[in-house]
Amino acid sequence: MAVGTVSGIEPDDNWQLIATSTPSGTAAATFTSIAGYKRLMVVWKTLTVGSLQWYQLRVNNDSTAGNYASMNSYTFGDANSSNNSIMITGATRTNTSGMLTIENANKSTPHPISNFASDITNAATMGILTSDPITRVDIFASGVNFTGGTVQLWGVAG
């Protein structure tokens, strides 16, 4: 093989942009009818709200206690944990950016979260404990409306 050539595509790295949401005046960025993806990556860019809030993620419109395990902290701020959503900020904020990957999205098994990164979190542990395949993803900020930002949903076909 010649130096500098690509021999093939790794199927687990073949990400496709599924959809983009620019929530403003709405309480959530919602992606529905997700099917056929074994991995999902959620990317949020400068999501804004009018007052200090915790930002959260839920799947399948499920807020059942015990279906999530999530703890985030920030060195100079609050720490928060939840068992009915995934906390995506380690402190209350009026804006945030970050990303995470949901594994086993199309399987009837719990869903580990990997590749978490956030501009306001320095420690985090999280997982989705329900075993239902993921068909919907919501990002929201404690019941207030977003004033701007972008959320992208990416997937690897399964």
pTM (predicted TM-score): 0.90
Structural domain range at position 47? 15-157
- Please check whether residue 23 lies inside any domain of the structure: yes
> Which secondary-structure segment (H or E) carries 140?
strand 137-140
- Please check whether residue 1 lies inside any domain of the structure: no
Domain count, the chain: 1
- Please check whether residue 6 lies inside any domain of the structure: no
Total Cβ atoms within 10 A of residue 21: 19
- Please check whether residue 5 lies inside any domain of the structure: no
Q: Is 63 left (phi over 0), alpha (psi -120 to 50) or beta?
A: alpha
- Please check whether residue 9 lies inside any domain of the structure: no
Q: Tell me the three state secondary structure of residue 94.
A: strand
Q: What is the pLDDT along the chain (158 residues), one digit of tens a residue?
A: 445 444 446 666 799 999 999 999 999 999 999 989 999 999 999 999 999 999 999 999 999 999 999 998 887 667 789 999 999 998 889 999 999 999 999 999 999 999 999 998 888 999 999 999 999 999 999 889 999 999 999 999 98
- Work out the angle at residue 77's Cα, subtended by the Cα atoms of residues 74 and 81, and round it to the nearest 5 degrees: 65
Report residue 143 as tokens. 């019941």
